[in-house]
Amino acid sequence: MQLNIKYFGMLAEVTAITEEYIQTEVCSVSELVEKLKNQYPKLGDKDFKVAINHHLVDQNHIINTEVEVALLPPFAGG
């Protein structure tokens, strides 16, 4: 299946892209994050949360359908 991955703030800076589409099998959020960290080693030491279709999810969440996955660094609004 295809996932749309979006990167924001400092994460877009270290990956040098704001979004991409990747092919993957059914996986957990933590497995996906590991895969992305392998691809972009500089993500490794960054603090971020993961949102799926605009909702925050935890590391155990299973991704089993085509969704939008956003990697969100610490918020700084206001």
Partner 1 sequence: MEKKKPKSVFIQGAISSEFIGTSIAKHQTKTSIGAHNIFLGQVRADEIEGKTVTAIDYSAYEEMANQKFYEIREATFEKFDLTCMHIYHSLGTVKAGEICLFVFVSSPRRKIVFEALEYIVEAIKADVPVFGKEIFEDQTHQWKQNSI
CB of 31 to partner 1, least distance (A): 22
CB of 25 to partner 1, least distance (A): 26
Judged by beta carbon, residue 44 or residue 74, the one nearer partner 1 is 74
In Å, how far are 2, 7, 18, 24 from 21, measured between CA atoms?
6, 12, 11, 10
State the Cα–Cα distance between residues 5 and 24, nearest whole angstrom.
12
Where are the alpha helices (H) located in the chain, listed in sequence order? 9-15, 29-39
| Sites of contact with partner 1 (CB under 8 A) | 6, 8-10, 51, 54-55, 70, 72-78
Judged by beta carbon, residue 21 or residue 25, the one nearer partner 1 is 21
